[in-house]
Structure 1
């Protein structure tokens, strides 16, 4: 059994209290109503994902426990993707575009969660492909999205999309793997994910305080 990198899961464990503090501020400062609801959904999704990831990477678990936590981890990623789109759908978009985005991401997330909780092992690469597909669903409302967001928010959305997509490809390739005993390919993935979530936090803050 290969040794676990010493940084395995550390970044996401640190992100848990950071999300509680920053998320509490974001939700409390968002205007009451749809803006606050959208912000709260995003914060809850981010917190769920960081908690799930922290648990699965906390230690070497028995195989049954690890498999259960691993499924929970993947399910939480689907929830985060839909939760990230929610404040955009409720605070930026209107009418048909908002309805289309929200229904698409949450139905997609529900399907993904359902698939991941079924008692079978998906083919290698399937989960990453589903994550990427669901993550890029907002592109169907890109014109309305770009009209509703300020330039900085648009830039951050593009950057986080590249971080998530590039990170998923790197995770699948298990490259780069700079310091396998300390900071390996999975830590690179966690770094990109944490950075992308932080970028989206700024996007949501810009949206709900506009």
Structure 2
């Protein structure tokens, strides 16, 4: 049975020399930061939520480093690419987990996390089975999913204002990175540092913001949340 054109793997262009180094370099910091977050988290719920966030970040940055920095057979590379794209949904949902469980009232936390993780599962299946979907179709899903927390911005602000500010700054970084990825520009240093490196740089900045936000709420869960 012939494979539809849109589902075929397209031979990639030669990657810039910086491709993958940003996520590879930050991976040890992700591991160290994740361990610190789990250890310092206040209470069993906070530790579990922190561990989920840690695991989601480890999956994204770890697989990204493997996928981008090594030469693989076409079959293995395609598999890693599927996981790489699916992991964006995993990290978004993982980032939501500590701030939602520990900052929102239980009913709102249950609703928001159900929607986010449900969307993530559908998104994972979507990216695994249709890896060559057009960017205009799946990038907006990443962005809309990431900004879903804005529905409860007042609750988050009441729980921990600095945390919410960091979430917003991190969301802005993710959005700017997504725009660069979707448009495939700018390419400041062709062959060395292109739009994909800008995308990776913004994901690192966003992760730092969201890790700090998670630390704040893990140290002091809000009254009425699952963390208290």
TM-score (norm 2): 0.86
Equivalent residues in 2 for 1:1-210, closer than 5 Å: 2-118=13-129, 121-150=132-161, 152-210=162-220
List alignment gaps of at least 5 residues for structure 1. Answer: none
TM-score (norm 1): 0.93
Alpha-carbon contact 1:157-1:199 (below 8 Å) kept = yes
Alpha-carbon contact 2:157-2:164 (below 8 Å) kept = yes
Backbone CA RMSD of aligned residues = 1.6
- Separation (CA, whole Å) in 2 of partners of 1:47 and 1:86: 15
Alpha-carbon contact 1:104-1:137 (below 8 Å) kept = no
Task: Tell me how far 1:5 sits from its aligned partner.
Answer: 1.5
Distance change (3 Å), C-alpha of 1:175 and 1:120: closer
Alpha-carbon contact 2:27-2:61 (below 8 Å) kept = yes
- Separation (CA, whole Å) in 1 of partners of 2:67 and 2:77: 7
Q: How many residues align?
A: 209
- Separation (CA, whole Å) in 1 of partners of 2:154 and 2:165: 14
Task: Tell me how far 1:119 sits from its aligned partner.
Answer: 5.4
List alignment gaps of at least 5 residues for structure 2. Answer: 1-11, 221-228
Alpha-carbon contact 1:97-1:144 (below 8 Å) kept = no
Distance change (3 Å), C-alpha of 1:58 and 1:175: same
Higher mean displacement: 74-83 or 167-176:
167-176
